[in-house]
């Protein structure tokens, strides 16, 4: 019997930076009745409608995960719950448990309960100092130096295993640093690229925790959401890769980002004081080759540094004028 298609969706880690933005997109596409948000956090924040189905779920708890899937007749999972790179270096044991145990639970329960499709995002954190830094190829050396990166490599391999061993439809892309204005980022190394906008608009001042020269691949949230939906809707038979697609939009140094913001806010003052996150940032690529995503499912970004900066400043300035920032 053919499996049913994306009718009832569960999001794990739904109250994080990406989940908060993905939730309304999925609700618009599939209807509020067909989307269940879950997170380890208790209760929905005020800015999210209380009409949304919400379940308190720790992804380390496979029994509760299975219960929620059964209760809501879930057929599609967006598994976003994770401990990010900087938090992961503060507590590697927790990162191992949440990222590896959580992903294993999601895949195993999905296999047992005949789930139609699973999205498990990866990250450019799968790469390490031995990986080619410029235009990093799709299939290359994966020897990360962070616990977060290590769990992401394992998550990609595990997902690929479930595709080949059990025929489970698992998909994922290696997000670069994501920049957005909804929920704040949750303890990653690329958080500076979001914080700088808030501080520039609010206080006209920011001390950045990586050096001015640090260049990383980044992406604006609308492109992140577009990539996620596009990959989830792609024709499975066209996919040669499944769980670790490189996707790229823009690359810039922290100094170039500050200069771009200053074009909009001429009195913005900034400095650089690298901390422990500098070493993590230095272990990651500067730019990414995403030709496999372009060929296999038609990936193409819309936003570059100038367009993203313009939009971020516009939205955050409006919020500040409305007293919301």
Report the residue number, 85 or 105, with the smaller CB distance to ligand VAH. Answer: 85
Give the span between the Cα atoms of 271 and 325, in whole angstroms: 23
Are the beta carbons of 190 and 139 closer than 8 angstroms? Answer: no
Binding range to ligand VAH, per CB under 6 A, among 1-9, 126-134, 153-161, 184-192: 184-192
Which one of ligand VAH, ligand NAD, none is in contact with 58 (Cβ closer than 5 to 8 A by kind)? ligand NAD
Question: Which of 176, 222, 244, 301 forms a contact with ligand VAH (CB under 6 A)?
Answer: 176
Q: Say whether 161 is catalytic.
A: no
The yes or no reply on residue 180 touching ligand VAH (CB under 6 A) is: no
The yes or no reply on residue 248 touching ligand VAH (CB under 6 A) is: no
Say which of 54, 78, 104, 148 is annotated catalytic: 148
Q: How many residues in the chain? A: 325
Contacts 24+ apart (CB under 8 A), 201-205: 201/265, 201/313, 201/316, 201/317, 201/320, 201/325, 202/320, 202/325, 204/265, 204/267, 204/268, 204/269, 205/268, 205/269, 205/270
Which one of ligand VAH, ligand NAD, none is in contact with 85 (Cβ closer than 5 to 8 A by kind)? ligand VAH
**Which residue is closest to ligand NAD by CB?**
16
The yes or no reply on residue 301 touching ligand VAH (CB under 6 A) is: no
Give the span between the Cα atoms of 76 and 215, in whole angstroms: 35
Give the span between the Cα atoms of 100 and 296, in whole angstroms: 27
Report the residue number, 185 or 285, with the smaller CB distance to ligand NAD. Answer: 185
**Sheet arrangement for strand 245-246:** 122-123, 173-175, 245-246
- The site for ligand NAD (CB under 6 A) is made up of 12-13, 15-19, 39-41, 57-60, 80-82, 84, 98, 102, 121, 123, 175, 177-178, 185-188, 190
């Amino acid at each position: 019997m053919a499996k049913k298609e994306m009718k009832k969706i569960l999001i794990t880690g739904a109250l994080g930076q990406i989940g908060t933005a993905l939730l309304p997109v999925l609700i618009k596409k599939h209807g509020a009745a067909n989307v269940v948000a879950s997170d380890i956090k208790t209760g929905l924040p005020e800015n999210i409608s209380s009409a949304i189905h919400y379940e308190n779920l720790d992804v380390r708890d496979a029994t509760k995960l299975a219960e929620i899937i059964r209760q809501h007749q879930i057929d599609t999972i967006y598994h976003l719950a994770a401990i990010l790179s900087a938090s992961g270096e503060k507590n590697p044991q927790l990162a191992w448990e949440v990222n590896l145990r959580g992903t294993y639970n999601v895949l195993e329960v999905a296999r047992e309960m005949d789930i139609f499709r699973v999205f498990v995002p990866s990250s450019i954190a799968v790469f390490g100092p031995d990986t080619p830094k410029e235009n990093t190829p799709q299939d290359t050396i994966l020897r990360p130096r962070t616990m977060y990166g290590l769990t992401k490599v394992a998550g990609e391999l595990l997902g690929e295993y479930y595709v080949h061993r059990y025929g489970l439809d698992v998909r994922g892309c290696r997000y670069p640093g994501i920049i957005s204005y909804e929920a704040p980022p949750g303890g990653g190394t690329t958080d500076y690229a979001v914080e700088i906008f808030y501080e520039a608009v609010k206080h006209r001042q920011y001390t950045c925790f990586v050096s001015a020269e640090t260049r990383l691949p980044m992406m604006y949230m609308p492109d992140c959401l577009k990539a996620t939906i596009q990959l989830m809707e792609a024709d499975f038979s066209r996919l040669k890769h499944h769980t670790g697609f490189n996707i790229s939009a823009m690359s810039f140094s922290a100094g170039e980002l500050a200069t771009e913001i200053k074009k909009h806010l001429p009195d913005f003052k900034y400095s650089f004081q690298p901390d422990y996150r500098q070493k993590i940032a230095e272990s990651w690529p500067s730019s990414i080759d995403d030709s496999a995503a372009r060929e296999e499912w038609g990936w193409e970004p819309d936003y570059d540094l100038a367009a993203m900066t313009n939009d971020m400043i516009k939205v955050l300035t409006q919020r500040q004028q409305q007293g919301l920032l």
